[in-house]
């Protein structure tokens, strides 16, 4: 396995490239289900948002809920699927999906970090006890090719400035009018 990228790639360096070819081990109805990147991206327009971890405050109170809220607007603007990716195992992602009541989102557990490493977004959050995790970003992928990426700035903490659902929706359709965000209470 190559070393973790100590610097984040520029979004423009990834745009126009294929997503990494990996297999996700997921859980559906308490059964294992293998999902490939082709299953997710082939002949589809997909919005992916990646985050450091399931059940974390920003991810649970803002990032995920807003994508779930705006799912019908994304669909009306040509998006076939919204996927949430995190370097967590299938059990954690499945439990988080149930807790969040997010039926409009496909949860992709990148347990080994293969996809995240392949896209250059694997970071070391050992200082927080998290180990290797995904940096926060979002991307629009058409038929497996990254059209647009929004990568959070490389600074201390957990920035959440550009990978949000509203920014992505405005990129897809600058005239789209989104309802105001609902308030979500983080239960942690």
Q: Which residues are catalytic?
A: 59
**Which own/partner pairs from 149-153 qualify as long-range (CB within 8 Å, at least 24 positions apart)?**
149/11, 149/14, 149/15, 150/11, 151/8, 151/9, 151/10, 151/11, 151/121
Spell out the alpha helix ranges (H) of 63-175: 64-69, 71-76, 90-100, 114-118, 165-172
Three-state DSSP class for residue 94:
helix
Query: CB–CB of 93/103 below 8 Å?
Result: no
Burial class of residue 70 in the structure, from the number of CB atoms within 10 Å of its CB (0-12 exposed, 13-18 middle, 19+ buried): buried
């Amino acid at each position: 396995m190559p070393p973790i990228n100590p610097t984040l790639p520029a979004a423009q360096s990834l745009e126009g490239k294929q997503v990494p070819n990996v297999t996700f081990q997921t859980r559906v109805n308490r059964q294992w289900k293998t999902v490939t990147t082709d299953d997710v991206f082939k002949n589809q327009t997909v919005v992916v948002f990646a985050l450091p971890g399931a059940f974390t405050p920003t991810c649970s109170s803002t990032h995920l809920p807003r994508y779930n809220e705006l799912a019908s607007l994304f669909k009306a603007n040509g998006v076939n699927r919204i996927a949430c990716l995190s370097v967590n195992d299938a059990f954690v992602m499945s439990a988080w999906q149930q807790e969040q009541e997010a039926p409009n989102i496909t949860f992709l557990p990148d347990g080994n970090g293969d996809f995240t490493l392949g896209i250059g977004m694997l970071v070391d959050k050992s200082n927080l006890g998290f180990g290797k995790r995904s940096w926060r970003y979002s991307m629009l992928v058409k038929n497996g090719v990254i059209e647009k990426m929004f990568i959070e700035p490389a600074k201390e903490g957990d920035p959440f400035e550009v990978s949000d659902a509203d920014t992505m929706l405005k990129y897809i359709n600058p005239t789209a009018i989104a309802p105001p965000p609902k308030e979500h209470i983080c239960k942690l």
